Structure 1
Amino acid sequence: MSDATLRQRRSVLARLCDHLDEDGTRYGDCDMDAPPAAFITIRDAWADRPGAADNLIKTIRAVYEWSIERGEIAHNPAAGIAAINKRPKGGATPWTPDDLLRFREVHPKGSTPYLWLTLQAFTACRIGDAIWLGRSNEKLHNGRIYLEWQPRKKGSAPVSIPMLEPLYEATRSATVVGPAYILTQRGTPYKTAESLRNQVRKWCDAADLKDKSSHGIRKAMAGLMAEAGCSQHQIMAVMAHTQAKTSEIYTKGAERRLLAADGIAALTKLKW
């Protein structure tokens, strides 16, 4: 696993161990041979953050798989626990132009939420990179500012993209400047992707965007690039993908619409 993934797993497991049961007993002080109901209880306690709840169960499941391989325990109590974050087939829901407008109406220019949205939209970065991207990633090429970084997700390609004017203006309108563009209320970078993800959930809820997420922006930007006629390799360069099949997950719908439009246009040449 990448260092970022390990940090997230440690954070999740620390919160699991600190959870108190109905008798006030700390989970971390209990025997690991626990029934599935114990983990369903904590999953449901996190139900207001369904993504985090399902990530918790995923992490627990991985820990028990590791323990089974080493003979520490004979069964995995989290193996059959279902997800509660009922996403539509195909993953995160892409943001629409109306969603972006609604978010900006609630979180105007100069605010941290506005800066976060602009950063995600004009870089299509993962939230795990949004927590540390900053001015140190700005590089000058032929008089133009580029953002350059190596995504933390394992297997990702390096990214180098022009810093477009909306993003430049958003970063320069921030009242507090730090090592990262996105800062907490204390003026420090977010320590984990999960902490920023939880904050994004609050920003989206404030804008009445209950089903939207940071990954939905990434998916929307890939689709918009495809509809604008960008090639597969152009989209791969922005998204940090190394294989075309990964980008196709985001773009196949838009590409089919473009192909269908070209195909139906051919009918205008027929004589009726």
Structure 2
Amino acid sequence: MRRVLREELKARTPVQAGNLLSALRHMIGWMIDEEHIEPDDDPTIGLKSGKAKASRESGGWAPWTEEDMAKYRARWPLGTEARLMFDILHYTHLRLGDASRFGSAHLQRTLETMMVKVATEKSKGHTTATVPVHRDFAVSLAAARNAGILGTGEVFTGKLVKGEIMPMNKKAWAAKFKKFARLACVNEPKKNCHGVRKARAEVAAYSECTEAQMMAMFGWRDHKMPALYIAKANRDKLAISGMEKIEAYDQMENIADLAMPTNQNRIVTFESNRRKKP
């Protein structure tokens, strides 16, 4: 059985193989829980799809740059659906599956601070992403409300049905956002919803947020995720501080050169020589 599965995985792309293997493991996990098979009989043990390796080699989804964001904001001002979708991704740091179902129920006041609190889809509700409402996000929500495009039901954004904003599946939500991004000339195929989240994770790391703070805001359960961003930020910071030291040293060398006599061939007479008799 394991040999057959291995051949099936090889016949697919890494992403397809990863999705298949994930589905099989969920099904087999259920079969083990229900005692239909023994844990040792799990045919997926030791199998790899190559999805993780392919993601590392390709770099995964590309983070949005400041230029990308400026283009998008210039094309889609406050009070538009496109801008609201972007601001939800940008200011809540949510994954696609959580951003697409984000609504008023996810805004809660804690310690006199309005917070975004979402039990994440990826953790099956076991982990809650917790992000204080950014002041610019509050402005964006108010603009959307004034423009009459903010959903008052289950979700803030979605599909319009008989004058009401209704939930839409995450793939459709992602496709709509991708269309808005293309119209704003953010055309790279690897720049999608998740790229906005990655850009904000980089900002958090460069802002010297701790691993624990990033895990709370991004809904991560593994320290490895924030550690990757923090390590990259620290490497860049070390390189910058190192270059500052090199430039300071070079500046001192230049000053020393300027202080040298212009006539290198002149004769220097020491006081001790003046006292010598001819």
TM category, shorter: 0.5 to 0.7
Q: Where in structure 2 are the equivalents of 1:177-196 lying within 5 Å?
A: 177=151, 178-186=153-161, 187-196=164-173
Is the partner of 1:161 in helix, strand or coil? strand
The structure with the largest alpha-carbon Rg is 2
The equivalent residue for 1:249 is 228
The equivalent residue for 2:207 is 228
2:103 corresponds to 1:139: no
Q: How many angstroms apart in 1 are the aligned matches of 2:171 and 2:16?
A: 11
Q: How many angstroms apart in 1 are the aligned matches of 2:21 and 2:226?
A: 29
2:148 corresponds to 1:171: no
2:133 corresponds to 1:158: no
Change (3 A) 1:234 1:82: closer
The structural deviation recorded for 1:262 is: 3.1
Change (3 A) 1:261 1:228: same
Q: How many angstroms apart in 2 are the aligned matches of 1:58 and 1:232?
A: 28
Q: How many angstroms apart in 1 are the aligned matches of 2:158 and 2:121?
A: 19
Look up the equivalent residue of 1:115 and give its one-letter code: L
Q: Where in structure 2 are the equivalents of 1:14-29 lying within 5 Å?
A: none
**How many aligned positions are there?**
216
The equivalent residue for 1:4 is none
Consecutive unaligned residues in structure 2, runs of 5 or more:
1-7, 37-46, 254-278
Look up the equivalent residue of 2:85 and give its one-letter code: W
Q: How many angstroms apart in 2 are the aligned matches of 1:137 and 1:188?
A: 16
Is the partner of 1:173 in helix, strand or coil? helix
TM-score by structure 1 length?
0.65
TM-score by structure 2 length?
0.64
Contact 1:112 1:183 in 2 (8 A): no
Is the partner of 1:94 in helix, strand or coil? coil
The equivalent residue for 2:59 is 90
Contact 2:130 2:218 in 1 (8 A): no
Consecutive unaligned residues in structure 1, runs of 5 or more:
1-35, 44-53, 71-78
TM-align CA RMSD: 3.5
Q: Deviations over 1:21-61 (max 9, x none)?
A: xxxxxxxxxxxxxxx9xx99xx9xxxxxxxxxx86675456
The equivalent residue for 2:262 is none
Change (3 A) 1:190 1:96: same
Percent of residue pairs identical: 19
The equivalent residue for 1:103 is 72
